[in-house]
Amino acid sequence: MSLKTRLVFVEGLCVDAAIGIYDYEHGRTQPLIIDAEVTLGLEPITGLKDTFNYELFGLRARDIIAAGHIKLVETFAEDLAQAVLNEAGVRRVHIRVSKPEALSDADKAGCAVTFARD
């Protein structure tokens, strides 16, 4: 038996962001819900330095949010995916971002992106 895949994930990470293209979305924050999955290499893990610390999902998301108003949830998802992909040992990242307040007649709307090292 051998290891085939190693994933680190976070589901339901909630952050508040200044996001949106409409006038009524400016000057306030809205919740975003992030689900993320990182595929790591198959090298042995002996400590935290050998894996992806899932706390980095929230840290990277908050760094992007702190930079200022974000127009599109797609831009946020792509920026977050790129930031995570830049971390050591990350081979692939899948990010799903939901914006619960986007549609009054839906639980949530959003987007998903996947980035991988070539």
pLDDT in tens, the chain (118 residues): 888 889 999 999 999 999 999 999 999 999 999 999 999 988 888 888 888 898 999 999 999 999 999 999 999 999 999 999 999 899 999 999 999 999 999 998 999 999 999 7
Residue 84 in contact with residue 60, Cβ under 8 Å? yes
| Separation of alpha carbons 3 and 82, rounded Å | 26
DSSP E strands in 1-118: the ranges are 6-17, 30-40, 90-99, 109-116
Give the predicted TM-score (pTM) of the model: 0.93
Q: Where are the domains of the chain?
A: 6-116
What CATH number does the domain located at 6-116 have?
Answer: 3.30.1130.10
Give the helix/strand (H/E) hosting 59: helix 55-66
